[in-house]
A and B are shown apart, each in its own frame.
Chain A
Amino acid sequence: MIHFDNVTKVYANQNRPALDHVSVDVDKGEFVFLVGPSGSGKSTFLRLVLKEERPNSGAIHVAGKDLARLSNFKVPHLRRRIGCVFQDFRLLPNKNVYENVAFALEVIGKPRRFIRKVVPEVVELVGLEGKAHRMPDELSGGEQQRVAMARAFVNRPMILLADEPTGNIDPATSIGIMKVLDRINRTGTTVVMATHDAAIVDSMRKRVVELEDGKIVRDQSRGVYGQAY
């Protein structure tokens, strides 16, 4: 589903590569934790998958597509198959829960009938039933992240990328977030989650890919956060 072959990414004005000859395979339906300290290249990895950045060398395949050969014109179609969740939720403050989720479908031109049908389903899936008409500032951090996950998942993407989704949330609430991610994963969606949160990684017992200074230092199925060496 995601295939990195010897990928190197150096940002302009930086001499140290953000990713250094990284090769990794993520299969369909997998759940992968991407761990490592700040600046180790986790976010760069996710940005490369979305084709927000281009690698300096190496090949990237996502959902069967060679990103180097994907024209800019088709990038939006790639992104429709990838859902994204961030540490800072990125909700629209002037839209309620329902509208925030529906927005993701409206802007890709889905018919209103379809939106009316699927949005409530997804809102329920993330555990926000009955809160569809709340505004984001009336929700807790955990609830806001659930809205963000609903928005990321509403178009049934093949891949869900989560960049430190529990970074702004207390540990108790994080468990709920992880349950939702797990539920999404069980529908067959590939989930890649970048995180610092050792407790969560340890509790989930999923595949762990550890990055350090842009290199993969560990790739372990059913791994834990920090005992590789």
Chain B
Amino acid sequence: MRANFIFSEVWIGLRRNLTMTIAVIVTVAIGMALLGIGLMINSQISGMKDYWADKVEVSVFLCKKNDPFPQCKGTGGVNEQEQAALRATIEAMPQVQQVEFEDAASAYENFKVQNANNTVLLSAIQVEDMPESFRVKLKDPNAYAAVIEELKGAPGVSNVINQKEILEKFFGLLEKLRWFALMIAGFLVIAATLLIGNTVRLSAYNRRRETGIMRLVGASNLYIQLPFVMEGVIAGLIGGVVAAVLLIVTKVFLFDGVQIYLANNSQLSWETVASVISLTMVVGVLICVLASFVTLRRYLRV
């Protein structure tokens, strides 16, 4: 096998089909980038789910003075007995693992941390505006329905919020995004396959004289087909490199950016990005090789 011979053939082929080659590279790059983004969202979702799994709580907010919630109207806020009774009720529930009381001052501290860069909001809200609450941690975060049902109407309770529901809305959005990215990636993979098929066909037509002579003098099938397949592989590899750059940019500017707002430490690791990139590269090159071989079988009888 003469490597330099093969490579000079490949180079000639790529140059002759420059526009098609560029089309293949762009399609492969975008398709693989979307596939990679889908996979990255995937690992982001599972990372965040793990992070939140032991942190989700049911918040039971208590009535304060002049509370606008209808069930608090006219009560003048929760009183000591109600608060003690609530605590007892919650602690008696079999689903409950742990209960903590958060008074207005610590609620305000948390609020200040969460909205540190929103000075307007901070200056508008005072300690008295913050509701007191019970933070209820459940043994099984999925068994929240009965707990909420029971606490919602209890005296002195203004509102019950299940963090899990809020999170699930957010995860649902992420999952939709992931499916969307993967779907478009799928379409682009089809487009890339067809484009590569066309490129190889053009290439085979351009070089029919050479391949005819190669057949005649007894060049092996591998020797005849390899330059065409290599064209596909090289286009696929370049597309993969562009996709890798796109994925790194996406991680730095999109995923890490989103992390700042979510204020948690389940950041997408570089190892994940690296494995996603290598996976998309392999997929890209495989698609190119397969598409080339299938087309060659049709257009380059050996």
Task: Judge whether A109 and B213 touch: CB under 8 Å.
Answer: no
Q: A189 near B: Cβ within 8 Å?
A: no
Contact B209 A107 (CB under 8 A): no
Closest to A110 in B: B2
Contacting pair A108 B223 (CB below 8 A): yes
**Given A106-B5, A109-B2, A80–B217 Cβ distance below 8 Å?**
yes
- The CA-CA distance from A78 to B220 in the complex, in Å, is 11
> Which residue, of B213, B223, B224, has the highest number of chain A Cβ atoms within 10 A?
B213
Residues of B within 8 A of A80 (CB): 217-218
Which of A77, A80, A108 has the most chain B CB within a 10 Å cutoff? A108
Distance, CA A155 to CA B210, complexed state (A)? 17
Interface residues of A in 61-94 (CB under 8 A from B): 72-73, 76-82, 84, 90, 92-93
| B213 & A108 in contact (Cβ 8 Å cutoff) | no
B218-A108 in contact (CB<8A): yes
Q: Report the nearest A residue to B210, measured CB to CB.
A: A92
B88 within 8 A of A: no
A1 at the interface (CB under 8 A from B): no
Please determine whether A92 and B213 come into contact, CB atoms closer than 8 angstroms: yes
Q: How far is the CA of A80 from the CA of B215 in the complex (A)?
A: 10
A79, B215: Cβ atoms closer than 8 Å = yes
In the complex, per-residue mask of A116-133: 1 if CB is within 8 Å of any chain B CB, else 0: 000000000000000000
Enumerate B206-222 residues with CB–CB distance to A below 8 Å: 209-210, 212-221
- Which chain A residue has the least Cβ–Cβ distance from B220? A76
Asked if residues A84 and B216 are in contact (CB atoms below 8 Å), the reply is: yes
A76 touches B218 (CB 8 A): yes
The verdict on A104 contacting chain B, using a C-beta distance below 8 Å, is yes
Closest beta carbon of chain A to B211's beta carbon, Å? 9
* Pair A90/B219 contact, Cβ less than 8 Å: no
- CB of B218 within 8 A of CB of A90, answer no
Q: Which of B2, B212, B224 contacts A90 (CB 8 A)?
A: B212
A104 touches B217 (CB 8 A): yes
Question: What residues of chain B lie closer than 8 Å to A93, measured between beta carbons?
Answer: 209
Any B CB within 8 A of the CB of A54: no
User: Is A42 part of the contact surface with B, judged by Cβ < 8 Å?
Assistant: no
CB-based contact B219/A107 at 8 Å: yes
Instruction: Give the chain A neighbours of B212 by CB distance below 8 A.
Output: 90
Most B CB within 10 A of own CB, among A93, A106, A107, A151:
A107
> Which single member of A50, A78, A104 contacts B213 (CB below 8 Å)?
A104
Nearest chain B CB to A85 CB, angstrom units:
10
Q: Using C-beta atoms within 8 Å of the partner chain, give the interface range for chain B.
A: 10 to 19
- CB-CB under 8 A from B302, the residues of chain A are 72
B2 contacts A106, C-beta separation under 8 Å: yes
Assess the B221–A76 pair: CB atoms within 8 A. yes
**In the complex, which residues 153-188 of chain A have their Cβ closer than 8 Å to any Cβ of chain B?**
155
Q: Which residue of B lies closest to A78 (CB)?
A: B218
Q: B146 an interface residue at 8 Å Cβ cutoff?
A: no
Contacts of B223 in A (CB 8 A): 107-109
CA distance in complex: A157, B1 (Å): 21
Q: Given the complex of chains A and B, what is the CA–CA distance between A92 and B218 in angstroms?
A: 17
Is the Cβ of A90 less than 8 Å from the Cβ of B5?
no
Given contacts A106-B5, A107-B223, A109-B1, contact A79 B213 (CB under 8 A): no
Task: Determine the distance from Cα of A80 to Cα of B220 in the docked complex, in whole angstroms.
Answer: 10
| Contact, CB under 8 Å: A103 / B213 | yes
Contacting residues, chain B, for A77 (C-beta < 8 A): 218
Rounded to whole angstroms, the CA-CA distance of A209 and B210 in the bound complex is: 32
Considering residues A78, A106, A112, which has the most beta carbons from chain B within 10 angstroms of its beta carbon?
A: A106
Which residue of A is nearest B212, CB measured? A90
Complex interface bits, B4-36 against A, C-beta within 8 A gives 1, otherwise 0: 010000000000000000000000000000000
Minimum C-beta distance from A79 to chain B (A): 4
Task: Say yes or no: A90 contacts B213, CB within 8 Å.
Answer: yes
Contacts of B216 in A (CB 8 A): 50, 79, 84, 90
Q: How far is the CA of A92 from the CA of B211 in the complex (A)?
A: 11
Q: What 1/0 mask marks residues of chain B from 188 to 229 whose CB sits below 8 Å from any chain A CB?
A: 000000000000000000000110111111111101100000
A90 to B217, CA, bound (A): 12
Distance, CA A35 to CA B97, complexed state (A): 100
Q: Distance (Å) between the CB of A149 and the closest chain B CB?
A: 13
Min C-beta distance of A187 to chain B, whole Å: 18
A25 to B221, CA, bound (A): 30
| Interchain Cβ contacts under 8 Å between A and B, 16 examples | A76-B215, A76-B218, A78-B218, A80-B217, A82-B218, A84-B217, A90-B212, A92-B209, A103-B210, A104-B213, A106-B5, A107-B219, A108-B217, A108-B218, A108-B220, A109-B1
Beyond known contacts A73-B221, A76-B219: 6 more, CB 8 A cutoff? A76-B220, A90-B213, A107-B214, A107-B219, A109-B1, A151-B217
Of all A-B residue pairs in the complex, the 9 with the closest CB atoms, nearest first, are A80-B218, A79-B218, A107-B219, A104-B217, A76-B218, A107-B214, A76-B220, A106-B5, A84-B216
